Structure formats: structure tokens, C-alpha cells
A and B are shown apart, each in its own frame.
Chain A
Amino acid sequence: MTAAALLPTAVMLPMAGAALTLILGKRPKAQRIVSVSVLILQLVVEISMLLAVDANGTLVVQVGGWSAPFGITLVADRLATLMLVVSTTVTLAVLIYAISADHADGEETDTPVTIFHPAFLILATGVSNAFLAGDLFNLFVSFEILLTASYVLITSGGTMERLRDGAPYVVVSLLSSIIFLSGIALVYTATGTVNLADLAGKMAALPVGIVLVLQAMLLVAFGVKAAIWPMQQWLPDSYPTAPAPVTAVFAGLLTKVGVYAIIRVQTLLFPGGNFDDLLMIIAAITMVIGILGALAQAGIKRMLSFTLVSHIGYMLFGVAAHNEIGLAASIFYVMHHILVQTALFLAAGLIERVAGTTQLSRLSGLAAASPLLAVLFFVPAMNLAGVPPFSGFLGKVGLFEAGVENGSAVAYVVVGAGALTSLLTLYTILRVWGRAFWRPDPEVLEGGAPGERIRPGQDKKWFAATQARRTALRTAAARLPLGMLVATTFVVAVTLVLTVVGGPIYGVAERAAENLGDRNGYITAVFGADASSGTGGLQVTEGAGP
């Protein structure tokens, strides 16, 4: 019972923290202390939850004491707790990064501090609740919690660019929420329950046509959130303009919550694999379209947003391959990608601070100006591309194995697309590396009179301008706030941990996948020992027949 008390705590902690930071709005220092300590506490809670779940099996809490199909159920299995630990690690690092950036900028921040902390903690609340939700409606509510917080964060400051790029994000998210809610209404009409464990039993009794409609609606709703082709258009437009820490946490976490929901729903409610072939094709298109988009970008942040879309395809493929290896690899890849993508966006934020821009045409010589920054970008970048020693490689190998085990022609095509995407990612990353870090000087420099642009060939002016630029870069790099560097280094270090102790962590992912394969285990855990009477006790509303 004591271990089960951890579940509501993981949701309540950040929520209480958000309330506290809102009250402390006029005292930024106290705000910072509260939000950091809340997240550290939450991380401790979640790690102990992970250990408890990995040792003793799934934890369940019936909120308010209402028995399973009637009340709100919180369920923590291995997948949920793994996601919780990784997500809180990332949010904590990003929070420290943001605090340090704000601290360095003094009063003139581009994120109003008063709002930032409460909104950020509410976002953490929504994410934790989404991973623990044991029924569809609770999942919807947690999506709304995190989305509402994300609307505030993405338009924070209310500048014109943020409104312009935030508006499509808000509207698309609203539409996907509506689709999700309508899906829930239809699920309830057909089965008379929204509890996931209860639904798992009742879905099988429905006519195939109705199941397909419900599955398709839920997949579309989660697909928009996960930015899967053809519902990915909103992402590369809206993420790059938000403040660096906000983009980092969004890119790392929000799409993965959608992926998590897809994994959960596909394994628990629709184990039949109705859409597997379609999902595999969509996964392949998502990978290729995303990476081709990334190749065409002129700015690092937009490029990273497109690679984010591209790599969601891998996770989807793991689910669609419909075997345990695929699920395990998918779970491992989700964890790896949350960390790597966050690290890359944090590094992009550092680049923006040093050079004042992330446009490739205006970047150069960063490796000479700041070797540390170069390492902080290079390691996660190689990891993203899946170069052998890193965790991205382990995840991809697992996924390819799953594809081979699946054995269908489509699966082989997707494996090919995955390999191609991997190579193209490497090329995209090397292009950034070559331009921003290794290239000595850009073709055109700002210098001399205001607005004057100097091209190579105007010898003396060119020489003076290059010298000035190099010193400016060096001083800016030297002035990077320590907290930002520490936070980024921390995330990069965790990605390396995922590589070094890849075996044990992959083992946990495999056990989580086994968990998912064993649907009866989940159902028994939710309904307690008297499982049979639990499912039978509910008055079934029969589906509206044909």
C-alpha cells in the first residue's frame, strides 16, 4: 500500500508546486527554489516507483476508493514508470537551464518568469498524469492539462512571431483533442466504459467495423500529438520560435506522450493489429518526409524540428511491427530520443546565445570559439544519427531486428527506409557540423557602418571584420552561464549512460514490452484478485448494433 501511495504523489507534487509558485509570483528566488525542489522530489518518487514496479509488478490506485470500472484508476506498469523517470529527468534539466538563462539575463528575459514556473510545473503534472492514467477520459484530461500549459509556454511573451507560429499549434491541438473526445464518446456508446482494463475485455466482443472506427479515431488523435505524417505539418512551424528551453522540453516530451498513448492503446485495446501494415507504411513515409524536410532547412532549430518528426517514424514502426522485440526497441528508442532531442535543442539554445542566430549561413567557427559547445552538440548529434557506439544505434538495431522478425515485405521496405533515414540524418547533422562548427568564416559579414555587409575580397575590411567576429564569439562563449552548460552536459551525460549501461536498461525495456504483451496481467492488476467478478459486475450498455 505504501508503494501505491507514490502514484498520486507523482501527480500532486508538481501540481502543488505550480500553485505555490503562482502564489510566489513576485518572489522569483523563492519560485526557483520551489520548482527545482519539487522536480527533484518528483524524480526521487518516480525512481522509487520504478524500482518497486520492476521488482513487484504493476501498481494500481483507485482514486477515491471507487472500485475499478467506475472510478478513476491510476496504473503504473514498467512502461509508465520508465517514461516518468526519463521525462522528469529531462524537465528538471531544462528547468535548471531556463533558470540559469533567466538569471544571466537579469530582468530582460523573453519569458515572463512569473508565468513560466507555474506553467512549466503544470506541464509536468499533465505529462505524469498521462503516463499514469488508467482510463481514457483521465488520459484526455491529462492531455488537456499539458496542452493548456503548452499553449501558455509556446506563446509566452506574446510577441508577434510567437503568436503567429503558436496559433496553428493551438488550433491543431484543439482539433486533435476534439477528435479524441469524440472517440471517447463513441467508445463509451459502444462499450459503456472508459476504463482501459475494462475496455480491453469488452473490445473483443464488438463487431469488427466498430472496433476499426474507434481505433482509427484514437490513432488520428494521438497521431496529431505525436506529429506522425500526414499530421506533422504544425510541428516544424510552431516549435522553433518558442524560447529555447520551452522548445527543448516540447520536442523531448510532448510528441512522446502521443507515442506513449499509441503504444498503450495499440497493445491493450487493439491487440489484433488491424492497422499494422498501414502504420508501417505511415512510419516509413514519416521517416523519409521528415528527414528530407530537415535537409532543406536553413536554420538549426527548424532542422532539428524536422528530424524530430522523422524519428517519430522509428517509434511508430516498433509498435506496428507487432512483436515483442519491436515494442522493446520502440520503448528504448522513445527513452533515447527524449534525451537526445532535448540535448540537441538545449545545445541549439547555447549556439543562439553565442552567435546570436541559428541560421546556418551566418554561423561559423564555433568549434574554435567553444570546444565544449562543440562536444555538447556533436555527441547527441551522432547519437541521433545512430552511429555505432551510441544508444541510437542500439535502438535502431532492435527495430531492424523486429522488422526482420515480422518478415512481411512491407516490414523490409520500412527497414530500408529506416536505414536510409539514418544515413540522411547523419548527412544533415554533418552539414550543420561542417557549416556552424568547422567553417572558418561566413561568406558575408556584418561590420563597419551599421547594416553594411562585407564580402570576402574587400581585404582590409574583411580581415578586421573576421577578427572582430572571432573575438566576439569567444567572449560570448566564455560568458555562457554555468547553469546552462551544466544542464546541457547533464542531459548529454545521461544519453551516454544510456549507451554505457545499455544492456540493463534495454533489459528493463524488454520487460516493459513483456508487460505490455501480457494483457491479462494488466487487467488483473486493475481489478484486483476478484478479477472475474469485477468485469462482470458492470451493467453493460450494448453497442448500437448494425
Chain B
Amino acid sequence: MNPNALDSNVTIAVIIGVSFACGVYLLMSKNLIRVLLGFLLVGHGTNLLLLSSGRGGIAPIAGSDGDLADPLPQALILTSIVITLAVVTFLLAMAYRNYRLTRETEVADDPDDAAVAHRGETVGGGE
């Protein structure tokens, strides 16, 4: 077994799992604010997952010998945090725009889908 500091850390695993579960649940909503919160949660869960993928240890650049931490996952997380930030900003703008247009935080249904669903209902009702 490698000296991966986190591979036996149940706490982190549970936190990742819970934030994924809650986040995905929120993402299923039609309410854009809930979607935003869900995405934040899932994003944090993923970043933790990325963090736990590397080897733990002392600081990689300052430390001279011994078990150095793996610096690559941290570089990856930084990138992913920046991307999350950009996307959250976009989602916020979208939610605000949606609110301005409709005074609601929920996204409307697609009329074509509604038409197809309606057709299905009427056909089903006719039989």
C-alpha cells in the first residue's frame, strides 16, 4: 500500500459522498437558485475528490526531505476552482435574467415537449 495519506480517511470519503448526493438532488430542480447551490456542492465534492487523489505529506517545495505531498492534484484543484467560479457567475447571471423576465426563479417548460405530452394524453384518453 502506498503512503497515500487520504486513502483510508473515511471522513473525507463521507463528506464527498454527502456533498455529491445533496448537490445532485439540488441539480434536479427546475429552480435556478437551487441548481446553483447544487452545482456549488457538487463542485466542492469533486475538488475534495481531486485533493484526495494525491499523496499526502509535507509541503512539496519548502520541504527538503521525507514524504513530500503530491503537488499536481493541488494544481488541478486550482484550475477547477477557477472554472467553477466562472460557471457559477454565469449561472447567477442567468438566474437573474430569468427572474427579470418572468419574475420567477423557475425555468419554464418547453412548449414542444408540452405539445407532445399533451398529444400523448389525448391519444391515451381517446382509447
Chain A residues proximal to chain B, CB less than 8 Å = 137, 141, 144, 148, 151-152, 155, 158-160, 163-168, 170-171, 174-175, 178, 181-182, 184-186, 188-189, 192, 194, 237, 296, 298-299, 302, 541-542, 544-545
Known contacts A188-B72, A189-B53, A542-B1; A164/B108 CB under 8 A: yes
A539 to B4, CA, bound (A): 13
Contact of A171 among B4, B35, B116 (CB under 8 A): B35
Closest chain A CB from B6 CB (angstroms): 9
Interchain CA distance A544-B2 in the complex, whole Å = 8
Which of B2, B87, B94, B102 is A155 in contact with, Cβ under 8 Å?
Answer: B94
Kindly state the separation between the CA atoms of A296 and B47 in the bound complex, as whole angstroms.
Answer: 43
| Residue in B35, B39, B49, B109 with the greatest tally of chain A CB atoms within 10 Å | B49
Say if the beta carbon of B121 comes within 8 Å of chain A: no
A174, B87: Cβ atoms closer than 8 Å: yes
Residue contact B94 to A167, C-beta cutoff 8 Å: yes
Mask, B75-116, CB within 8 Å of A = 1, is: 010011001001100110010011001100001111011001
Chain B residues, Cβ within 8 Å of A189: 4, 7, 52-53
A237: chain B residues at CB < 8 Å are 110, 112-113
- B contacts, CB < 8 Å to A: 1-2, 4, 7, 24, 27, 32, 35, 39, 42-43, 46, 49-50, 52-55, 70, 72-73, 76, 79-80, 83, 86-87, 90-91, 94, 97-98, 101-102, 107-110, 112-113, 116
A152 to B89, CA, bound (A): 12
Determine whether the beta carbon of A181 is less than 8 Å from that of B90.
no
Across the interface, which residues of B come within 8 angstroms of A544, CB to CB? 1, 4, 7
| CA distance in complex: A163, B101 (Å) | 10
- Contacts of A152 on B, CB cut-off 8 Å? 90
> With a CB–CB cut-off of 8 A, which chain B residues contact A302?
112
B residues within 8 A CB of A186? 49, 53
A residues near B91, Cβ cutoff 8 Å: 170
Partner of B1, one of A144, A178, A182, A545: A545
Residues of A within 8 A of B113 (CB): 237
The distance in angstroms between the C-alpha atoms of A181 and B86, with both chains bound, is: 16
Chain A at the B interface: SS class: helix
* Given known contacts A160-B101, A167-B107, A148 and B79 CB-to-CB distance under 8 angstroms: no
- Contact partner of B94 (CB less than 8 A), chosen from A170, A299, A545, is A170
Q: How far is the CA of A188 from the CA of B77 in the complex (A)?
A: 13
Nearest A residue to B115 via CB reads A298
**CB nearest neighbor in A for B100:** A158
A163 touches B94 (CB 8 A): yes
Q: How far is it, in angstroms, between the C-alpha of A545 and the C-alpha of B53 when the chains are bound? A: 14
Whole-angstrom distance from the CB of A380 to the nearest CB of chain B?
24
Q: Could you name 22 residue pairs across A and B whose Cβ atoms are closer than 8 Å?
A: A141-B83, A148-B83, A160-B102, A165-B110, A167-B35, A167-B98, A170-B94, A171-B35, A174-B87, A181-B50, A185-B46, A185-B49, A186-B53, A188-B72, A188-B76, A194-B76, A237-B113, A298-B112, A541-B2, A544-B1, A544-B4, A545-B1
Q: Which listed residue, B46, B53, B54, B109, touches A178 by the CB 8 Å rule?
A: B46
Q: Give the Cβ gap from B121 to chain A, nearest Cβ, in Å.
A: 15
A residues in contact with B70, CB < 8 Å? 192, 541
A214 vs chain B, min Cβ distance (A): 12
Chain B residues with CB under 8 A of A155: 94, 97
Give CA–CA (A55, B76) in the complex, Å: 36
Bound complex: CA of A163 vs CA of B109, how far in Å? 11
B60 shortest CB reach to chain A, Å: 12
Most buried by B among A141, A170, A174, A237: A174
Closest-by-CB residue of A relative to B119 is: A296
Contact assessment for B55 and A178 in the assembled complex, using a CB-CB cutoff below 8 Å? no
Point out the residues of chain B lying under 8 angstroms from A185, CB to CB.
46, 49-50, 52-53, 73
Q: Would you call A167 and B32 a contact (CB within 8 A)? A: yes
A544 CB to nearest chain B CB (Å): 5
Starting from the known contacts A174-B87, A175-B24, A186-B49, 20 additional A-B residue pairs (CB-CB under 8 Å) come to A137-B76, A144-B83, A144-B87, A148-B90, A151-B87, A151-B90, A160-B101, A163-B101, A167-B98, A167-B107, A168-B107, A170-B90, A171-B27, A174-B27, A188-B72, A189-B4, A189-B53, A237-B113, A541-B2, A544-B4
**Within 8 Å CB of A163, what residues of B?**
94, 97-98, 101, 107
How far is B91's CA from A166's CA once the two chains are assembled, in angstroms? 11
Chain B neighbourhood of A188, CB < 8 A: 50, 53-54, 72-73, 76
Residue of B nearest to A163 (CB): B98
Contact B110 A164 (CB under 8 A): yes
Cβ of A405 to closest chain B Cβ, rounded Å: 40
Report A517 CB to chain B, min CB distance, Å. 30
Residues of A within 8 A of B107 (CB): 163-164, 167-168
Q: Smallest Cβ distance from B32 to chain A, in angstroms?
A: 7
Contacts of A181 in B (CB 8 A): 46, 50, 80
Min C-beta distance of A266 to chain B, whole Å: 23
Instruction: Report the Cα distance A545→B2, complex, angstroms.
Output: 10
Closest to A179 in B: B46
Least CB distance, A363 to chain B, in whole angstroms: 17
- Given that A188-B73, A237-B110 are contacting pairs, would A541 and B42 also be in contact in the complex, using a CB cutoff of 8 Å? no
Q: Is the CB of A160 within 8 A of B73?
A: no
Which 6 pairs show the lowest CB-CB distances between chains A and B?
Answer: A189-B53, A188-B53, A167-B107, A185-B49, A185-B50, A542-B2
Nearest Cβ in chain B — how far from A166, in angstroms?
A: 8
Within 8 Å CB of B55, what residues of A? Answer: 541
**Which A residues lie within 8 Å of B39 (CB)?**
171, 174
Cα–Cα distance between A192 and B2 once the two chains are bound (Å): 11
| List of A residues within 8 angstroms of B32 by Cβ | 167
